[in-house]
Structure 1
């Protein structure tokens, strides 16, 4: 379980950095707006220039810190080794798209998370005998968004009318509802409490055939065109850098549906799905995190 963080603290691979820890931080670069790439073309025979679209580069955090364990150089070495192990983990380093979380607690906001890799762990051992090891860290997040610390989940049985149904005795005319005419508790509602689009991880559990998942507000649709046997599942990961469809055992599936367009905009929206299932036991799970443009949401600050 993740540890609690206080203001001006970070956590990478179980190592806490920042105020009140054994790893004080002198400076951090990269928390604000990420760098952009885009063309600036001079206008021929005219003043000024034409500016093309700006696209964000990966967010890179450069952390100037030091391990401070007076009288205990071995403890300092263990902390450095823990960070080096995280950077060198084969499950992250040698797998395309694999990332690890960096948790940040800043004043005026709850804990936010960046997902990326430790690309640099560079200690200076000259003063290690005194329990002081200056340390340069570099963490690169391919997705520039900040995410909520806690993942949200929703589960949808086949047919979003599962909340209602028939009441015996059945008499004509027959009315079927979702059990909540206001729609407030319909199973397909999902809420992104952030300020920018979030991309969910969808998982279809069999038995079912030809599952189709639709985001109602945007009209985005994922048509898998496959059969998922009982006891199996298929994972549709729409997150940037992770956009794949995989079976339970890890096999990759092809799809013509644009996974990058399936997103949860800020606020509440609805997901529906259909499939062929004679047992009525298939289900869909949706997992997502609130997503934010900035480390501190201005609205959160104003509310305090």
Structure 2
């Protein structure tokens, strides 16, 4: 029988913990800021270009429940950078310490501060023998004047390797000399730098003789040896190149502080059509029938006699009104240079040269 009266209702169940929902919510676009360590490359006269590379960041997995606020903890990103390598050639004169009487042969130093004493240098400051191109007049006294052209420069350096404190070590020093005065397999010439009391000067040559007498001086560890170097270009040059910008339709001075003409390197940057450069001091012109696009560069080496664009010779574009490329020189003293073009030419021509002496 049912019991009369009020019944007792069931007590509701109240959960003390919120219910978690297994939902995933997409994050809106947001930014992260990375702080990279300072990158420093210390190198003389070198530009380091990094190749194209990617950085990959790994983010921690994000999971959170619906209707919940959340805060991301501090985290780090790690990026892997490609190895940075810089190959810097040894420039002529880099081994000199500033002492007078030093000789640098392709980076090898002789003289004060080394085991090799420089006793004598022949043929460096002397003028090489000149070929006189005068032509005798057949029917009167004298000759028609011609040019005087220097022959190759021959430099003889007398050295004394010093191992008096240990005469048995003399062969080690002579082996060092052998290593840097050998015969090359091609026509390459190496830089020779001589420093007197003034500014060092530079030439390029090849060893053609080495004399090492094995006499009494050898037995005590101090023989006198000689190295003969022949320089096909007899001119002595300044170590530093001078650079001059030639602006379109303007005259620019280029001063050769030496005593003989020097051959410049000219770089013409596109876009430009039919560029021309004239040395009005000597009335010598080089002109090219060519159209250079933006990013193109024509390099004219007047000493080597080459005209290159992107590794391809463009000598055929030299016009008939031009002098031969090797005849475009900077005379000693001040030269007035003038750059013109049919169109374009907003970027200046770069003229690089060394002062030259005989």
Does 2:130 correspond to 1:36?
A: yes
Alignment of 1:116-135 (within 5 A): 116-121=205-210, 123=212, 135=225
- Post-superposition Cα deviations, 1:211-232, rounded to whole Å, max 9, x if no partner, equal 1111122221001222333323
Alignment of 1:64-213 (within 5 A): 64-69=158-163, 71=166, 72=169, 73-74=171-172, 76-84=174-182, 88=184, 93-94=186-187, 98-107=188-197, 109-121=198-210, 123=212, 135-160=225-250, 188-213=252-277
- C-alpha distance in 1, partners of 2:219/2:313? 50
Tell me the TM-score normalised to structure 1 length.
Answer: 0.68
Residue aligning to 2:150: 56
1:287, distance to aligned residue in structure 2 (A): 0.6
Contact kept, 8 Å, 1:117 with 1:141, in 2: the verdict is yes
- Post-superposition Cα deviations, 1:225-271, rounded to whole Å, max 9, x if no partner, equal 223333232222223xx222233315362435323432222222221
Residue aligning to 2:100: 7
1:52, distance to aligned residue in structure 2 (A): 7.8
How has the CA–CA distance of structure 1 residues 226 and 55 changed in structure 2, closer, same or farther, with 3 Å as cutoff?
same
1:80, distance to aligned residue in structure 2 (A): 3.0
SS at match of 2:115: coil
Contact kept, 8 Å, 1:120 with 1:137, in 2: the verdict is yes
Moved over 4 A (4+): 38-44, 48-54, 69-73, 121-134
1:117, distance to aligned residue in structure 2 (A): 2.4
Contact kept, 8 Å, 1:247 with 1:253, in 2: the verdict is no
* Most deviating of 282-291 and 124-133: 124-133
| Structure with the greater alpha carbon radius of gyration | 2
SS at match of 1:80: helix
Which structure: greater strand fraction? 1
1:273, distance to aligned residue in structure 2 (A): 1.1
Structure 1 alignment gaps of length 5 or more? 161-185, 294-304
SS at match of 2:295: coil
- C-alpha distance in 1, partners of 2:134/2:338? 43
Between 1 and 2, higher relative CO (CA 8 Å, sep ≥ 6) is seen in 1
Contact kept, 8 Å, 1:76 with 1:131, in 2: the verdict is no
Contact kept, 8 Å, 2:95 with 2:108, in 1: the verdict is no
Which structure: greater helix fraction? 1
- C-alpha distance in 2, partners of 1:281/1:41? 47
SS at match of 2:175: helix
- C-alpha distance in 2, partners of 1:285/1:40? 37
- Post-superposition Cα deviations, 1:178-207, rounded to whole Å, max 9, x if no partner, equal xxxxxxxx7x22111222222211111222
Residue aligning to 1:301: none
- C-alpha distance in 2, partners of 1:265/1:273? 18
Structure 2 alignment gaps of length 5 or more? 1-90
- Post-superposition Cα deviations, 1:14-73, rounded to whole Å, max 9, x if no partner, equal 1122345322233332221212345899999xxx99798554211111223243356444
